[in-house]
Structure 1
């Protein structure tokens, strides 16, 4: 049975479900709720993406001559994690490979998600252990959905994303969830800002690779409220919203969907991470709420 864990400090009250180790609520002492509260438009809050990010060609991959099937974004988001470390400001959850996962992903692993409060910020860490005897191939990413607008007096179009560097935002186009070989400028970019419009996501997610920006901020019109999201440790970024829905996802990724012409060999997958037997891998993102 899924449990709900609450973290608290003078600035933030945070709720996490053990199913998927999913961040569900971030309430600030300013009384704002920053997370999308799930609903008809999209039933998730902040799923973990593992052991793949995005879609595979025909939802399958091959490894050592065998074929395996995985759904978009993998299986971890729908599995029950075990709380392994809890305090007032820290929660750590662990998922270990089992007979079911080994049928579709033949790599023994331990996946840990840790959430830690620091004043008005959350640090989310992904830790992966290879407990098998061969190299492990994986992708991992976050998918947090933030409420837009934050206040009933505002509109979706009052908000913008602001990148810490002025750089061209070139989106890798998607074809049925797979990466095409071409890019196009993201419509509406103004210097280091991207005004939010629902139409940005009518052609699926915005996929960006190797940004120079270390942070991307979600801001209301006068920048009085928002989120500063630190993405430095992740080479790829997804930005997504369900059609005309009142949220935006800021998704730090290590890995991405298959290219349309991919061989389906997981060892040749662009963006794949490789972890040696006995190895340990960690990446973190941080979000400051104001």
Structure 2
């Protein structure tokens, strides 16, 4: 386990999946990350790579060949190497290997960089192309924040506040996790999406056309908040297991497949790419107040 700490925050990251396991706000004594109760949902903040969401037939189609791939990819189940570590900075690395090539036939290094700066944690995804061809991939985050913040509060006391007041429209998922082509308006109060126990009864809310690049988890009961800034991520998922005391705020560069015919990886919706010898970077920030 790697721990980063400054005057404001103490965060912990485990080697498996280079996954955040704790974001502890020192002045309030509040643990802001869901603590992965395995009877409810046994993750804290999985990192999604080289796919986001589910692929049709649980396969990737690359250069005319199919490769088995699980939902959200293999990075969250992989053990990362810690290549750099200071009091406030750490770099975790996953390199291509015989086991990754079974699922994803590219030579790469996938780095996840954590950096504490005041009351904020910046997470950077870096994909290094070590192949002789273009590497296509998706990448995303899935942090689960504990709600409510305090034991004497209720889940329904909280809301997601968007950077801008806008008409929210979620893209609907089938029972097996593929987009079905349907959309549905999501009710808001101005820029606020109210949290309720039944908000996620039909799976995640998936937003593909947001103007907002910042959301905050807030309550009217006090000024404490969690803000997620995601300037480089055009897609956003918001999800919780119905009735569970957390909410996931998920910046994505990629998404699940749509029902229908399987597409080659380069034609997948929201697919990213990096050329030989080049490096891809995308960052988001979690700030605690």
TM-score of the superposed pair, with normalisation by structure 2? 0.97
Of 70-79 and 209-218, the range deviating more from structure 2: 209-218
Q: Helix, strand or coil for the counterpart of 1:182?
A: strand
Q: Residue 235 of structure 2 aligns with which residue?
A: 236
C-alpha separation in 2, matches of 1:151 and 1:136:
44
1:2-41 to 2 correspondence within 5 Å? 4-29=1-26, 30-39=28-37, 40-41=39-40
Secondary structure, aligned partner of 1:58? helix
Residues 36-70 of structure 1: CA deviation (Å, up to 9, x unaligned): 00001100000000000000111112111211110
Measured after TM superposition, the shift of residue 210 of structure 1 is 3.0
Counterpart-to-counterpart distance in 2, 1:79 and 1:58: 22
Q: Deviations over 1:94-131 (max 9, x none)?
A: 00010010111101110000111111000000000010
User: Please, what is the CA RMSD of the aligned residues?
Assistant: 0.9
Any conservation in 2 of the 1:56–1:264 contact (CA below 8 Å)? no
Aligned counterparts of 1:165 and 1:236: Cα–Cα separation in 2: 15
SS in 1 for 2:190: coil
1:284 aligns with 2:286: no
1:115-134 equivalence runs, <5 A: 115-134=114-133
Task: Tell me, in whole angstroms, the C-alpha distance in 1 between the residues paired with 2:89 and 2:261.
Answer: 40
In the other structure, the counterpart of 2:56 is 57
State whether residues 200 and 242 of structure 2, in contact with CA within 8 Å, keep that contact through their aligned partners in structure 1. Answer: yes
Give the Å deviation of 1:222: 3.1
For the structure 1 residues 69 and 158, does the alpha-carbon distance in structure 2 shift closer, same or farther, using more than 3 Å as the test? Answer: same
Alignment correspondent of 1:177: 177
Deviation sequence 1:180-235 (CA, Å, 0-9, x none): 2121111x311110000121111111100131112100012335111011011101
Structure 2 counterpart of 1:224:
223
Question: Quick one: distance in 1 between partners of 2:93 and 2:71?
Answer: 21
1:75 aligned partner = 74
Check the 8 A contact 1:133/1:277 in 2, yes or no.
Answer: yes
CA contact (8 A) 2:129 2:135 kept: yes
Q: Name whichever of 224-233 and 29-38 sits farther off.
A: 224-233
5+ residue gaps, structure 2, are: none
Whether contact under 8 Å (2:68, 2:102) holds in the other structure is no
- State how far apart, in whole Å, the 1-side matches of 2:195 and 2:185 are: 15
